[in-house]
Structure 1
Amino acid sequence: MNMPLYLVTGFLGSGKTTFVSRFLERYASAWRLGLIQNEFGPLNIDGRQLRQSGVTFELLEINRGSVFCVCLISSFKDSLCNFVDEYHPDAVLLEATGLADPLGIAELFSAAELQSRLFLDKTWCIIDASTFLLLEPVNHCIRHQIRVADEIIINKIDRVNEQTLYAVKDRIEQLNPAARLTCSMFCDVDLNLDFSTPNCCNNQSIVAQADAVMQTRPSMQTAVVKTTHRISGSRLQHFLSSQGSELYRLKGFVQLADGSAVSLQFCFGETRIIPLMDYSGPTELVAIGPTLSQPSFVNEFRSCFI
């Protein structure tokens, strides 16, 4: 029997991993779940954080680009088939990179080897209400993510006023009038799925919308920092505050000078630092932005070293 695959899309920092965490908490105790995490950078920070939650699931990591890119889609099909054959999950959840253009989904699910194993049951798109109106006009990936979605979750509604929320809803309905809209904070939404019964969402029309594969490698750059140097908290804050529009996203783990470790999440100027109780690894960070240079970024980050 073919198993359902659920696709989660959304631009950088919209809340995809928070949604995935809630999905796993809701279903992992009753069902055998396979999770595919697709990162644009070479380090899978989010996968390690989900592992620390204690929830049981099988994980396939696909790094260094979007799985819907024409240059990766063939190898991803092979990896997905092997993953399904090895673990036999009841359902598979695919968290796409925030830079993914999911119109390549047509080519992916037209492959005979996948049709005999999986069917696309539902697609969620997570939207950050606080940045959507700024980013959507200049980013075709966001528009394509919305157009292929069954359900669109407008997240972070606590950060906008009613007028902005109305404008966000209006624009989304223009792009995909058939999708269900749900508003949330921290992706706290109702999930009522039965993995043994195909979802009633119109996934055939979703694939039909994407019958021409338009994916190309996004015009984004990544930079990776990995060091055993201890990091000054005050210098780190200064470093983050000095970053301009060229830094979209920065996430990872940091070993501070006082011996503590933290999880760092930086997205479009907003920073979240969360203490970690059981992380003993090095400082590891992945940065994403349109004009980043690996050597320049790493050299600048050295100012945070003790």
Structure 2
Amino acid sequence: MPSYLRGIPTNIVTGFLGAGKSTAILNLLKEKPEGERWAILVNEFGEVGIDGGLLEASGSGEVFIREVPGGCMCCTAGLPMQMAMNMLLARARPDRLLIEPTGLGHPLEVLSALATDHYQTLLDLRATLTLVDARKIKDKRYTQHSVFNEQLTVADIIVASKADQYQTTELDQLKAYLQQKGLLTDRQLVTSRAGDLAV
């Protein structure tokens, strides 16, 4: 394995549908140090709504995007995901890798795929970021959904996204929900406004 493909800093950016993952990634790209090559692995473009801004950034020669064909990345965490990942890494030779599973995907399966021997030396798994829109915490369709709760469970950092769009009471409700689930004892909770995010 070439030395340029070892220990690539890697973050998973997950979150339920509409949590602001693509916006957060676009903002991360704005902070990318000049000269660094970044790679982004996403589900099929139509599935996650990769917008024109992200595709435009990929034309710079420093940002490379690869989609995982065949639906949900977690469901295809076998061969299709591995093939897409390997092709992306070989082509991009990135300084950083961002992985954005679909909002309804099971991130545990993605993490399991990345924990295999093949990726142990290739990737340096950093924080898994889970974006949550605090306004949704009152909606049982979210809080009773197994994927929503799994995304929170795998997070190293929980990001209260779109904080500029809701009230302090809604953020307090999110904190109370996370405390009730025991998710704030070993996880950091941060807020994000208009997609600003730092990793």
Do both share a fold (TM > 0.5)? Answer: yes
Q: What do residues 208-233 of structure 1 show as CA deviations (whole Å, max 9, x unaligned)?
A: xxxxxxxxxxxxxxxxxxxxxxxxxx
Pairing partner for 2:67 from 61, 65, 78: 61
Contact 1:9 1:145 in 2 (8 A): yes
Aligned residue number for residue 87 of structure 1: 92
Matched, 1:51 2:55: yes
Quote the residue 1:203 is aligned against. none
Q: Is the 8 A contact 2:137 2:173 kept in 1?
A: no
Q: CA separation of 1:160/1:150 partners in 2, compared to 1, >3 Å: closer, same or farther?
A: same
Amino acid of the structure 2 residue aligned with 1:185 = R
TM-score normalised per structure 1:
0.56
SS of the aligned residue for 2:31 comes to helix
When normalised by structure 2's length, the TM-score is 0.84
Structure 1 distance, partners of 2:16, 2:70, is 16
Superposition map of 1:125-274 within 5 A: 125-134=130-139, 135-175=141-181, 176-177=183-184, 178-189=186-197, 191=198, 193=199
Q: CA deviation at 1:170?
A: 1.5
Q: CA RMSD in A?
A: 2.2
CA distance in 2, matches of 1:65, 1:2: 28
**More helix per residue: 1 or 2?**
2
Partner Cα distance (2:33, 2:108) in 1: 29
Question: Could you list the runs of 5+ residues in structure 1 that have no partner in the other structure?
Answer: 194-306
Residue deviations 1:141-191, cap 9 Å, x none?
1111111111111012333332222111121233322111111221224x2
- Asked if residue 97 in structure 1 is aligned to residue 88 in structure 2, the reply is no
Q: Quote the residue 1:122 is aligned against.
A: 127
Cα distance between partner residues in 2 of 1:88 and 1:125: 26
Residues 106 and 9 from structure 1, CA distance in 2 versus in 1: closer, same or farther, beyond 3 angstroms?
closer
% identical equivalent positions: 25
CA–CA separation in structure 2 for the residues paired with 1:42 and 1:5: 23
Question: Does the residue aligned with 2:18 lie in a helix, a strand or coil?
Answer: coil
CA distance in 1, matches of 2:108, 2:34: 33
1:107 aligns with 2:112: yes
Which of the two has higher C-alpha Rg? Answer: 1
Q: Name structure 2 gaps, 5 residues minimum.
A: 1-5
Aligned 8 A contact 1:65 1:72 in 2: no
Q: Which runs of 4+ in 1 moved over 6 A?
A: none
In 2, the alpha carbon distance for the partners of 1:43 and 1:152 equals: 23
What is the aligned residue count?
189
Contact 1:77 1:114 survives alignment (8 Å): no
Return the alpha-carbon distance in structure 2 between the equivalents of residues 184 and 72 of structure 1: 29
- State the alpha-carbon separation in 2 of the partners of residues 87 and 124 from structure 1: 23
Q: Distance in 1 between matches of 2:12 and 2:111?
A: 13
**Maintained 8 Å contact 2:26/2:53:** no
1:8-35 deviations in whole A, cap 9, x for unaligned?
0011111101100011110152411001
Choose between structure 1 and 2 for higher RCO, CA contacts under 8 A separated by at least 6 residues.
2
